Amino acid sequence: MALWIDISVSKHQLKLYDASTLLKEYPIAIGKILTPTPTGNYMISNKEENPGGPFGVLWMGLSKPHYGIHGTNDPSSIGKSVSHGCIRMQNDDVVELSNMVPLGTNVYIHP
């Protein structure tokens, strides 16, 4: 499998691909204007269950320090531009995604 994650900040959407085949699509929250989600190519560098605070049930850190894909303690924020730059997902969604992607998975973030 050649899994990779495509994140569209303008569409508030995360897609999981195996090569060119779309496997799954999720709604996300992204960074607000003053703390935008950084665009570029990154990798999932670590995972942590129950990180506490606003990060929901799971944190997947990106190769860009201090940024990650994580759950939320505020499900109503999904679909909005409200974070400090991280990608926020529903808790069930982030657990499902984490179970599918290994460390080192490429993450492409674009407008």
Residue listed under structure tokens 């069930």: 92
CATH of the domain at 94: 2.40.440.10
Non-local (6+) Cβ contacts of 61 within 8 A are: 44, 45, 46, 47, 48, 67, 68
Q: Which tokens sit at 80?
A: 């909005």
Respond yes or no: is residue 110 known to be catalytic: no
Q: Range of 87's domain?
A: 3-109
pTM of the model: 0.97
Active-site residue (options: 12, 66, 86, 110): 86
**Nearest CA-CA partner of 3 in 44, 54, 53, 39:** 44
Structure confidence at residue 53 (pLDDT):
87
Structure confidence at residue 70 (pLDDT):
98
Low-confidence stretches of the chain (pLDDT beneath 50): none
Respond yes or no: is residue 86 known to be catalytic: yes
